Amino acid sequence: MPRMERVCPVDIPQHIIQRGNNKQQCFNADKDRKAYLFWIKKYSNKYCVEIHAWVLMDNHVHILCTPKQPFAISKMMQAIGRMYVQYFNYNYHRTGTLWEGRFKSCLIETSQYLLEVYRYIELNPVRAKIVDGPNEYSWSSYSNNALGTNSNIITPHEEYLSLGKSEDLRLTNYQMFLSAEISPEKVSEIRISVNKGLALGSKQFIDEIEMITNQRVSFQTQGRPWRANKI
């Protein structure tokens, strides 16, 4: 069966997960993480993808981003994955695949869920019990979005910028937002959406995406096969 074409409308944010094959470790040292970030910067610029938040865990990666051109995210992730596997295999004297097939992704409704995904990504090391607070983990965008550290990777989303008219106010409000624990229901909703390639948002948002793309991005119930309404 042919793979379903990815749903990737321009200017709609996406949450991306890239996992190591069979949950194997894909970062063994800080130099590996630096190499991966180098290629994120290079190929996000090349293919016109704005990066808003990210975290590098030992065996997977989360990225929140917005494509500014058609198919930009697929091109970016393919280029990053190809270059990093070559680097990783050469440095660790190995061959074969590193990633668990294609990356997973979901579309995000900005007003309802975007900041929740920011928080979900940057609190990932806390939920994994690696650190007590996001400020203790070096390999995420928390220092950029919450502490104001300069970044040549991050492009703040308008929803993030709406947290305050000044940088100091935005940083304070964002820190307060991340200090509140994300609900288990929200965690589950975000996980299911990205793992199944669904849209994360209101029914109106999901209906609009399905109209635009002619693909299902909502939970499928048993019954007759789904078809988009003709426009």
Which CATH class name applies to 14-203?
alpha beta
Q: What is the pLDDT of residue 169?
A: 97
Cβ atoms within 10 Å, residue 60 = 20
Residue 220 pLDDT class (50, 70, 90 cuts)? low
Q: DSSP letters along the chain, please?
A: -PPPPP---TT--EEEEEEBGGG--S--SHHHHHHHHHHHHHHHHHTTEEEEEEEE-SSEEEEEEEESSTTHHHHHHHHHHHHHHHHHHHHTT--S--B-SSPEEEEE-HHHHHHHHHHHHHTHHHHTTS-SSGGG-SSBTHHHHHH----SSB---HHHHTT-SSHHHHHHHHHHHHHSPPPHHHHHHHHHHHHHT-EES-HHHHHHHHHHHSS--SPPPSSSPP-PPP-
Angle at CA of residue 110, ends 183 and 104, nearest 5°: 75
Judge whether residue 227 has pLDDT over 90: no
Residue 4 pLDDT class (50, 70, 90 cuts)? low
CA proximity to 127, closest of 79, 170, 183: 183
Per the CB < 8 A criterion, the answer to whether 119 and 182 are in contact is: yes
Average pLDDT over residues 72-79: 96
Q: What is the pLDDT of residue 189?
A: 94
Cβ atoms within 10 Å, residue 107 = 24
Q: pLDDT for 15-60, tens place per residue?
A: 999 999 988 999 999 999 999 999 999 999 999 999 999 999 999 9
Percent of the chain with pLDDT over 90: 78
Which residue ranges make up each domain of the chain? 14-203
Q: What is the pLDDT of residue 7?
A: 73
Q: pLDDT for 184-201, tens place per residue?
A: 999 999 999 999 988 999
Q: pLDDT for 116-171, tens place per residue?
A: 999 999 999 999 999 999 999 999 999 999 999 999 999 999 999 999 999 999 99
In sequence order, which residues have a C-beta less than 8 Å from that of residue 193 and are 6 or more positions away?
15, 106, 199, 200
Residue 5 pLDDT class (50, 70, 90 cuts)? low
Q: What is the pLDDT of residue 23?
A: 87
Q: What is the pLDDT of residue 210?
A: 87
Listed range (27-41, 56-70, 217-231) with the worst mean pLDDT: 217-231
Judge whether residue 1 has pLDDT over 70: no
Cβ neighbourhood burial of 68 (10 Å; 0-12, 13-18, 19+): middle
